Structures are given as C-alpha cells and as structure tokens.
Structure 1
Amino acid sequence: MIAARLARCLGSLAALVAVFAASPAPARQETPAALRAEAYEAAQWAIASDAADALARVSARFAQGDDALGRLAEEREDLIERRDRLERELERLYASEEATALAARARTRTAWEAAVERLRAVDADIEARFPAYSELTSPRALSIAETQALLGPDEGLLLVLVNPEATYVWGISRERVEWARADDLGDAAMTEAVNRLRASLTSAGAVRGGQDIDPIVFAGPQATPFDRATAHRLYTELVQPVEGAFQGKKTLISVVTGALTSLPLSVLTTASPTGSDAAPEALAATPWLIDRYALATLPSVSSLEALRCHLVADPALRSPGCPPRRNAVARRADTRGARLHLAAFGAPLLTGEPRAATRGSPTADDVMGEGRLADVGKLRALPALPGSKLELETLKTRYPGSLVRIGSEATEHAVRADDAEALSRARFVVFSTHGLMAGSAAAEPGLVMTPPEQATEADDGYLSASEAAQLRLNAEFVVLSACNTAASNGRPGGEGLSGLARAFFYAGARSVMVSHWEVSDAATTTLITSAFADLDDNRAGDPGVRARALQAGIRAVRAERRWAHPAYWAAFTLVGEPG
C-alpha cells in the first residue's frame, strides 16, 4: 500500500505542480502542497535503514528511562546479535558435508531456535509492560511541519530519494520547502555517476609505476584526476533546484538513498570546473559544497526526532519541536561518575611496514581464523600506523585528564572490559586504527586492536561491529579514524551507513564520524587533530558545532597543496546530530 501511494504521489506530482502553477487552484484537496507533503512522508517509508532502526531503539530505551525496561532492551539487543551470529554460522556449516559439520549444524540450529523463541517472549513482555517503548521504536514518517519544527534556525535538510526512473529531492528549512525531480538521474544513471567519482577517489595517488605512493611525499599529478564535471552535474540536479529552501544556512543535513550513500556530498562542486582536473592548482581553486555548508547526514528523517527528543537527558535541551513525552518515566541522573572528556584507543602494535601510509586493509575475511575468532598472526602482520600514534598523542596532550590507550594498551579487552566504565562516561570517543570491511555474510566489519598472544572470545584483537554494539556509551561524538567505516561492504547501492556506524549508534552515540574509502594516514592525522582543535574553540551544544569541526578539519587538509585532491580530505562524513 505504501509503495502504491508513493508511486502515485511521485508519479503525478510534477505534472500537477505545473498545472496548478499556471492556473488558480481549483476547489480540491489534492493541491500541489498537499501532494508534495504526502509524497515527502511516503518517501521516508522507502528510506528505512538498519542504522535508523538502531538509533530508534537506543533512543526509545533512553526516553523510557526505566531500569526494568533497560534490562529487557539490553537482553533483546543481545538476543538479536546472537540470532544473527548463529544465522551466519549456519550459513557456513550448510556449505560443508563433513560429519563434524553436520553435527555442529544440528547444535547451532537448536541454539538459533532457542534464541528466536526467547526473542519473541522478550518482545511480548516489552509490548505488554512498556507500550511507549514499542511506540517509539515503530517506524514513523515525519510531516513537513514536524521536520521544520525540529530544524534549527540556521539549518536546512536535503532529502534525496533515488528511484529506478528518476530521483526526487526535497529541500526544507524552518521557513521554506522546495521540491524537484531529476529525470535524468534514475537509479542506473546515479549509480554510474557515483561509480565514476568513487573510482577517482579510491585510487587517486595509490599506485604509480607499480609502486605504492606515500601521500606524505607525493606532490605531483594525481594518478586518477577527479571528475569535477560529474560532481558539478550532481550538484546542479540534486541540490541547486531546491537550494532556495536553505540557501544562506550554515548547516545542511542530508538523508540520501541508493548509490549516494557511498558518496560524501562534500565532493559536489558548486561551479562549472575550470582548468585541468589533474592540476592541484585547479582543484585548490574549486568551490565545493563543503565550503558553503557544514555537512551532516542522517539515516532517516525520523532520526532527527530520535536525536533531538529522546536521546537528550536534560529536558531543557530537547528541541522545542519535540512532541510531548507520553507514558515516559523521568530518566534517573547518571551516577557512573564524573564526565570524562575523551576516551581514545588506537595505533595498535603491528609489525607490517606502513607501505602505503594509509589506514586501509583487506576485508575481514582475510584476517579470520578458524571459527569466529580473528587470526592474531594475520592481524599482527598488518601495516603499522605512525600517523595514528601521532594523532592520539596530540589528543592526549590536548586533553591531559582523559583516557588514551596507545600501542600495547590499545587492546580489545581494554575496550570491552578494563576501560568499559570509563568509556561509558566519555563525551568524545576516538578509535584510530585500521578499519576492515565485511567481506562475506560470516565476517563482520570491525576495528583492529593490538593482537593478544592467543585469540580468545574475550580478546582476539578485532573489535567487530556486534561487539561494538554491546558497548554502553553516552558519547556526543564517536570518531572512527579508520578506513571504510561508513558502510557494511563499501559497494554503491548497498545498505548505507550500516556496519560500524550502526553498531556505535546502537551503543549510544549521538553522532559518528565515519570514512567512505581508504584514507591517508598523514592527511587523516591533520584532519582529526584540526577538527578537535575547532571543537574546543566553540562552545559545546552550539548548533552544528561537530559538523563545523569536520568542516574545519577538511579545510586544514586542503590547505596543503599535496592534498588538494578530494581523495585526501573528503572521505569522512558526520552521521547523526550536527552539534
């Protein structure tokens, strides 16, 4: 029914807008504004994502504020993780006909059925005892008026729905609403354009003459020039037609679908390109969308309500546009101890040469050993990250009273056990290390920590997404200063903002900074340290403060001629609350 309504609204809206614009509005309910509003809500149903679901669940638990619910919700999350892990294990076992695999398959199937049955019981218990939680976790589309009420006075929202035949775009601010249809950018054309841009972003400066190039010393022409014409075309068809709604605002929040989930909007150019795409001088002079707005992205429009209404402990800090709390118990004060400014982990002890000076590695499949644990030998052989160590040492100097674990101290056991309580009190959380993408259904994305001598369930040197989801955070800002942390598989058109981003939202983060491709170790060190310097220069709680910090970090990278190519500065995206 939703799909039919969406097709009707979107298919007829362009024609109806033209008709009504040319003549006085007839006496009918389906005015252009009404159809546009209905299509806006219908589009949100088509954009539902795992990341949005994770944010809704943790915000609902937070809003309800009941200890009994917290225990049930935590058990529910553990059961979901167990069910999914057992399903992956079953997939692996069904691929083998050995006798041992057949026996293990039966045991695993029994365990999976028990987890599913218990999950049903917990869901029924939550529904009966805490109806407000169930209401908050149900997907809900915001109306245009509700969206406008939640936006700040200096914010705009860009909603982009990619369909097979065309792309539909909404621009919204408190004062205005604009709508447009990009007829030449259906799903196939959008994917082709994004693939072309990502090809130059993920290979620029990587290989030349058969040798890896260290971006610290490489200052010549890029191996793959960035296609500014395509980047400008996307701007003119997706942003410019609705920009009147938020032009002049400082922060732009985007919700996108399809292939666009793998492309940071910061790389869109706001003017026709001049000069050669391969010339650093031309790239340095190019006006980018990130120059015009501090950018943040959300997995869904409804995430705006989750972040600004339910994931706020102090009622005074809730958005004036929030709906009244229904059936919610006042949240108890945090008694875990004093707020910690920063908890940071990274620069693991690895023996590989930093051959490309990047924080990229093979997929998770390539480091897995027997069963579910990582192979500590393969992890240990990954390239060392000198820039990561410098980055964390700089942060340690900036925040002397904080928790910073470097090298031998940066272990999975520290994150999940020894420092778990301190981590739960941290305002900012940073992981500066290798990020590994999921390579198959059985190997999760994750972060590389210092490997132990022997892998155990408690510590195999690999903090997987499901393990990260079990952390208990109260962080305003989580920075995943690593490669490929934005999506589950890195392929355009896949589930956007899943994998590690979803896991840290699930754990309780209000915003997560993630990367879309293999990042330069040195450039990333400059970006992260500059972003935190800007964060300190601005008052906490200011609108858009974290989005502006990322914008300042990008400017710092671009200030160096050798890093003019967006491959060096555009990989990171802020997901969640802009500030």
Structure 2
Amino acid sequence: MKSGRHLRLLLGLALATSACVVTPALAQNVSAQTTKIIELERAGKYSEALTLAQKTLADAERARGPVHRDVAAALNNLGQAHAGLGQDSEAEPLYKRALAIFEKVGGLDSADVAPTLNNLAALYQRQDRFADAEPLFRRALIVSERSLGPGHPDTGRSLNNLATCYEKLGRHADSEPLFRRALAIYEKAGGPEHPAVATLLNNLGQVAKVTGRHAEAEPLVRRSLAIREKALGPDHPDVARSLNNLADLYERQNRYADAEPLYRRALSIRERAVGPDHPETATSTNNLANLLRLEDRVNDALPLLARLIVTGRAQARVALPMLYAAQRQQLVASGTALDDALNVLQRSAQSSAASAVNKLAVRLAAGNDRLAELVRRDQDLGSEAESLDKSIMAAVSKDRAKRDPSAEQRARERISLIAGERARLQKALSAEFPEYSALSNPLPLTAGEVQSLLSADEAIVLFAIAEKESYVFALTRDGFDWKPIPLGADALSGKIAAFRRGLDIAKASDASGKSGLFDLAVANELYAALLLPVEPLIRDKRSLLVVPSGALTALPFHLLVTEKPAMAIPDKFDGYRNAAWLLKRHAVSVLPSVTSLKALRAFARRDQNIKPMTGFGDPLFDPASAGGDNRAALKTASRSAASVAYTEFWRGAGVDRARLAQALPQLPDTADELNAVAKDLGVAAGDIHLGRDASETTLKRTRLADYSIVYFATHGLVAGDVKGLAEPSLALSIPAQPSEFDDGLLTASEVAQLKLNADWVVLSACNTIAGDRPGAEALSGLARSFFYAGARALLVTHWAVDSAAATRLTTSTFDRLKASPNIGRAEALRQAMLAYLNDASSPRNAYPAFWGPFALIGEGVGR
C-alpha cells in the first residue's frame, strides 16, 4: 500500500468530527471555540485549528480546573490538531491525559472514553506499533457497543478503526466484514453521500486492491473520491487520500499514464493544506517519485528524492531502487548514490539493540564521570517512564473487571515525578555540558566514515529488506559495492525458517531419517542470494561484519554454504564436515547497526585496573535440594530441556516456581565450564558464583562494572516460553522465598538496570539472541538490554544448545584467546567451531546444530 496513512483513522468528515468531544457543560465561549476547531479540521486548516485548540484548553482549565470532563475534551481536541499536522509526539501525552480524566470523572466505560482510545490507537498505528494499537481499538469498540449500542455512528467508527488495524497487519479476512458493518451503519445514519461513507468505500477498495481484485476495487475508490469532492471540496486532504489510492490502483495495473496526474494532484493538495514537511506530503512525494522511476524517468524523479532525503522522509522502498538506477545511468556519482542510500537506510532501520548501543556510546563518549553519571540517570529514568507508560496502556486496553485503578494512578504519579527529575537533569546537562546535545544525536555515517573504521582485512555487509526487493551493501577500507536481491521480506522469512529447521538438537540424534535435518542446499541458496552479489569485494577479507535487519537477525551467517553441495542432506553426519561453510572463510561478527561500528570502536575501555571476569553458573533450581547430588548423572542435561513447556508453570499472576524448579534440569557441567575459563584467565575463586550463590541477589550486589567479562552459564527462557512472562530471562538459583528483588529469573528489563563496563558478556544459554516477545526480531531482548547496561560485545546462541557442546565451545574459545590475545573474539570463536567440526572422534561433531549455535554480537575484532 502506497499511502502510509490511507487507512488512517479519522479519514472521513464524520469520523473526524466524532473524534472531537463537544461537551454541553462547557462555557459558551469554549463550546463555540470547539465547534470552530471541528470546522477548521474539516477544511484541512490544521494550523489554525491548533492555535484555537490551545486557547480552548487554556480557557477550559481556567474555568474548570485540571480534572474536568471539559478539560479532557479540550485535551483530546488539541491532540487531534497536533495529529493533523503530523506532530504525534505532541499529541500522544495529550490523549493520555484526556483518557485518564475521562475514566476518572465518567467511569471506565463512559461514552467519552472510546474516541480518545481510538485517537491514541491511531497514533500508535501510524508508527507501526500494531501490538500497542490493536488492544486499544478493541476496547474502544467494546466501550462504544456497551455505552452507545451496536448501530451508533461511533460504534461504526470503532469498527472501521479495528478493521483498519487488521488490514495493516494483512488480516484481510478479518478486516473486510468489519468494514462492511461500519459502512452499513454510516449509510443508514448519514445517507449514501456522507463523507464517512466515502471513508468506508475507500477502505473496502483498499482491501479489494491489495487482494488482487482490481476490477472490484476501482468503482469503490472512484465513488469514494466523488463523494469527498462533492461534500468536502476539491482541495480537501481527504480528497488527496482517494486520489492517492486510485493512483496506486492504476500503478499496480501498470497504467502509469493514468496514475501520474492523480499523484500530482494529491501532492499539490497536501502541500497547500498541510505544508511541505507533513508526513502525508512526504507520502505523496515518495509515491510520485517512485512512479516516475517505474516510467524510466529517473532524472525527473531525482529532485523529489533529494528533497525527501534532506528532510529525512525518503522511504527505502523508493529511494534505494532509484539511487541504484541513477548510478547505473550515470545520473549520480556512485559515491554520492551510496552515501544517500546509507543515509536512508540508517534513518529507516533503527533497531532497539542499535538504540541501546547508541545510548551506551553516549555514556562512553562523555569521558567525564559527572556527565556519564547524569546521562545514565536520564536514560534510566526515560526507560522507567517508558516501562510504566506501557503498563498503563496495557491496563487501559483491558476490560474494566481486570483493571486496577490505584496501581495505574501510582504509575501516573511516578511518571510525573520522573518528568520533573528529567527536566532538572536536562537543565544541568545544558548548563554544565553544552556539547551533550550534539553527542546524543549522532548523524548517519557516510561511506567514507564507515571505511575509515575498517582495517585492511575487514569487510562490512548490511541489508535493506523491502516488500518485494531487498539490497545488500558491502564496504571495505578501499572499496564498496551494492546490489539488489530479488527477494522481499516474506520470501526471506520463509527461506530462513527452512534453514533453521535443521538446527533442532532433539532431532539430531542420528542421520538415519533425513526429515528435519539441516539442508545444505537451502544454506547455499541463501548465500547466493545474500552475499554472492558482493563476493568479489568481501571474499578475501578474514573478518566479516554483518548488519542484518528484520528476519535476517535470526540467521546465523556463519552457517551459510558458499558452494553448491553434492547432497542437500548427507546420508551421514560426517557428510556435513566437508561442506563449504562460510565459517571456513570468515570470522563473523554481527552489529546491530552501521553506527554501532563507530560507537563500539571509538569508545573502547580506558580502565586498566579491571578484574578479568565474574561468572554465574550451575544455579540451584530446587530450593529444597542440597545441590551437588548425582553430578555425573546430570552431565548430559541440556540447557534447553525445559524450553518446550514453560507454559505449564504459569499460575495466576506469576510463575509457579516450585513446578518450574522441578522441570529445570540442573547443569553441573556449567560449573566445569566456568572453572575452566576462570583458570585460563586467572580469575579469583571468589569471582565465580556457583550453586546457591549463582543468584539474583549475588548478581545485583556485585560491582559488575569492575569486570571485563561477565559470564552466564544456565538455562535461557525465551519470551513466551512462560505464559505471561513478556520478556526473555536467564534462570538463576530460585530462592526458597522469592521476592521482587530475587525471584530466580533475571529478566531483560532487570538486565537493563545493571551497570556494566564489560568488553564481553557471555550468555552460554538457550537461544539468547531471541526477541523480547514471540515474533519480534532477534536482538530485541537480552542482547538489547546487555548493550544498554554497558556491554561492548555479546556471545549469544541462536537455538537450544547442547550443554556439553556449549562447554566445549566456550572453553576452547577462551583457550585460544589466552594463547593469542590479539586474534579477537570472533576469530577465537571461529577457530573453536572449526576444531569441533573437524574432530572426527564422533560423526555428530560435524553436524552444525552442535558446533554452530554461538554468534558474536558487537565488537569481535582484536585491537
């Protein structure tokens, strides 16, 4: 879908009107102002609406005090005015404050609540935060039906909004019936020519369009356009939406000559109505530029693209193919095209892990203990406020019977206190360290800046994943290249899922049945798609730095196969030994973003008097056990043994840790693993915490910033393994009496509160690269939190690890680092994996599920 907001809430006149709550009790002049605001928004005059909405709020607060229904209505209307101008960051807190007041003065299910819920959910939807938007839309619908009835126009609006969310998620079968119900409501309430009817016709046309029913879509979108032009006038922003969507339909049918005038008219309307810098204007500019490229008029499109790049609103799906074509046609110098492409890519692909690295870099770059302390405090407070806000929004989306108003109020009061403290911190930062603002807002790196950070034996590759086509970029110190990949996001996700199916330890007992074993042909296909296009540039570089995105974060690149295999699935495990693994050619490190390269290299540890390592392993999961029994019998326990059924241990508001403890196998071999590494590094016995001592209490009371390496060898719990546990965790010793401080599960949010100064954090546990929730991209869970806490590199796992293999790989890695300290972590890991792979004492040593689970995230090169 070409318009980022074509299914946006409040598209039609009636829908926008119902979003502005007009209260009869409002003083007469304030009521008149509110009506005027609605009229201005109908006309698309959002700047004038904003000015008047600000005055209305001030009048309402002066007349009614801070907590009154009229004030909430004015807050909601002001939020709408900001949203109309594309100022979501200003609108969001206004909606939240309005919602809290409406619920307090009118009750959780008052009719006033639904419009504000819809507006807030719409804001999240525009930011692609669908997991946050959907439950709010659902509750808005429930409140509307309960308070107003199933046939009320506001119920129709809520139906449209929930359907819009489903449509954004590609759930066409769920969206279309809701759109039709909403259409019937509005046709009955307002007649067939009402603007709200136009909105529903437009949305049904969109469903038909994206599901390939073009003949059905065109009359729906045309009728929507005709209604809007007649009811709203030819220059209204809603007319631009219908024009844009009709043009998109024509573009999909290769009717470019029909599409172009519609795109141009939509752009002209939006430039006049909302200004050149508005997100909707940028959407129209992107759409027109892309169409011109499809018409082979790249030279005509470049001025439009240049404007988008300057404002930071260029869409990667538009910019990358255009820049690639422009350099091939010699319309733009290859270096300029690459810099512009990198600019677009870096602005559009900021993962949570990359953000955490950037926050770490700001603290490290401070170089001043006072500044670093202030920055960390500000960042911690920001994270706390964000977490509290999420808890409130999660509560707000629930039915009234499941709400705890007092807990929500405590959270709001804490957020208010945090806001005050952060304001004081910002004042101190501005006064004492005026250079801080530049430090905290890094600009995208140019190709030359990236190249200057690379050594002669390094190459960096990064990826841009789009719906239909993707791109790979490669840079070395002396050269660069980038090429298209003829696979979009869905196709890549499918191939990666097929790739990972062969990495289940449980299915790797023998090779008698090939079903479920690792497919070398799929690994080679992925190599051919992802890296072969830039192979001439990277082939001879020993160190390969990879910046993945989307589904690629779950791909262990070192297991790609560089040559077509003789057999896709060998008859015996030994047959995997001679495969052309990428690992044989490169030591692979993964970076969360391009800017992470600068962040992690420019600000290395300065401390010299640092302890080598602290470690936590062999935790005691059953508090009633004395520990240490039957160690020999437990040596074969897998660190993943409990990962299949953690949902059985969730009881009410928390985990039934007694049952969970019984299901978690003890891991006595992890004590051997930690002790072996500690011996290599000369670690004091008191820095290794085993058994009962491997607890949250011990961890949180340890000065972790004093250690270069922080090492965990235990079970990892992936988000969703425990029903209700919303984030991944590390299992430590479970205390006899669990508390909030120590319940035996070190969650990702608790990790983020730690204060590290670690060159390396080792997570020798199950699937520690996993995301912070089921379906989330990898690197968004424990990895993100450890980077934020202060790690510069992580050793993580891609799947459920075999415990004996994990012990062998990690100890071997540290042995090699001890023997050759300058080879770097990635090369030491590479050598350990190759040694395992080449050990012919057991056929299964050649199978990748055993020797290949670990990945190095962050700085892996020796310095």
* TM-score for both structures, normalised by structure 2: 0.58
> Is contact 1:376-1:454 (8 Å) kept?
no
Q: Mark the CA change 1:163 to 1:360 in structure 2 (over 3 Å): closer, same or farther.
A: farther
Q: Which has the higher helix share?
A: 2
Return the offset for 1:286.
Answer: 0.4
Give runs of aligned pairs for residues 98-177 of structure 1, distance below 5 A.
98=401, 101-123=404-426, 125-177=428-480
Give the structure 2 partner of residue 178 of structure 1.
481
1:449 aligns with 2:720: no
Query: Per-residue CA shift, 1:260-293, capped at 9, x if unaligned?
Result: 0011101110000113514312211101111100
In structure 2, C-alpha distance between the alignment counterparts of 1:432 and 1:491, rounded to whole Å = 23
Query: Per-residue CA shift, 1:45-71, capped at 9, x if unaligned?
Result: 222111111111122112212233233
Return the offset for 1:458.
Answer: 2.2
In structure 1, C-alpha distance between the alignment counterparts of 2:773 and 2:413, rounded to whole Å = 33
Relative to structure 2, which stretch is displaced further, 380-389 or 119-128?
119-128
Query: Per-residue CA shift, 1:4-28, capped at 9, x if unaligned?
Result: 26444312234334434xxxxxxx6
Give the structure 1 partner of residue 377 of structure 2.
75
> Is contact 1:343-1:404 (8 Å) kept?
yes
Return the offset for 1:137.
Answer: 2.5
In structure 1, C-alpha distance between the alignment counterparts of 2:801 and 2:419, rounded to whole Å = 39
> Is contact 1:360-1:519 (8 Å) kept?
no
Return the offset for 1:399.
Answer: 3.7
Give the structure 2 partner of residue 206 of structure 1.
506
Return the offset for 1:98.
Answer: 4.0
Give the structure 2 partner of residue 97 of structure 1.
400
1:10 to 284, 296, 320: 320
In structure 2, C-alpha distance between the alignment counterparts of 1:240 and 1:406, rounded to whole Å = 46
Query: Per-residue CA shift, 1:529-550, capped at 9, x if unaligned?
Result: 11111111112xx3x5100111
Q: Mark the CA change 1:350 to 1:556 in structure 2 (over 3 Å): closer, same or farther.
A: farther
In structure 2, C-alpha distance between the alignment counterparts of 1:380 and 1:220, rounded to whole Å = 35
Query: Per-residue CA shift, 1:441-489, capped at 9, x if unaligned?
Result: 8632121111111111221111111222222222211110011211324
Give the structure 2 partner of residue 406 of structure 1.
690
Return the offset for 1:229.
Answer: 1.6
Q: Mark the CA change 1:379 to 1:74 in structure 2 (over 3 Å): closer, same or farther.
A: farther
Return the offset for 1:400.
Answer: 4.5
Query: Per-residue CA shift, 1:288-313, capped at 9, x if unaligned?
Result: 11110000010111111111112442
1:496 aligns with 2:788: no
In structure 2, C-alpha distance between the alignment counterparts of 1:256 and 1:233, rounded to whole Å = 17
Give the structure 2 partner of residue 318 of structure 1.
none
2:547 to 252, 255, 261: 255
Give the structure 1 partner of residue 753 of structure 2.
470
Give the structure 1 partner of residue 640 of structure 2.
359
Percentage identity across paired residues of the two chains = 33
Q: Mark the CA change 1:139 to 1:99 in structure 2 (over 3 Å): closer, same or farther.
A: same
> Is contact 2:726-2:773 (8 Å) kept?
no
> Helix, strand or coil: the match of 1:141?
coil
Relative to structure 2, which stretch is displaced further, 223-232 or 143-152?
223-232
Aligned letter for 2:736?
A: E
Aligned letter for 2:711?
A: V
In structure 1, C-alpha distance between the alignment counterparts of 2:514 and 2:658, rounded to whole Å = 34
Question: Radius of gyration: which is bigger?
Answer: 2
Give the structure 1 partner of residue 495 of structure 2.
193
1:511 to 793, 811, 834: 793
Aligned letter for 1:427?
A: S
1:377 aligns with 2:680: no
> Is contact 1:485-1:500 (8 Å) kept?
yes
Aligned letter for 1:305?
A: K
Give the structure 1 partner of residue 597 of structure 2.
304
Q: Mark the CA change 1:565 to 1:88 in structure 2 (over 3 Å): closer, same or farther.
A: farther
Query: Per-residue CA shift, 1:59-114, capped at 9, x if unaligned?
Result: 21122122332332232233233224323543554435348723323333333343
Across the two proteins, how many residue pairs are aligned to each other? 530
Larger RCO (CA under 8 A, 6+ residues apart): 1
> Helix, strand or coil: the match of 1:252?
strand
In structure 2, C-alpha distance between the alignment counterparts of 1:413 and 1:345, rounded to whole Å = 12
> Helix, strand or coil: the match of 1:85?
helix
> Helix, strand or coil: the match of 1:409?
coil
> Is contact 1:226-1:278 (8 Å) kept?
no
List alignment gaps of at least 5 residues for structure 1. 21-27, 208-212, 314-332
- What value does the CA root-mean-square deviation take over the aligned residues? 2.7
> Is contact 1:81-1:466 (8 Å) kept?
no
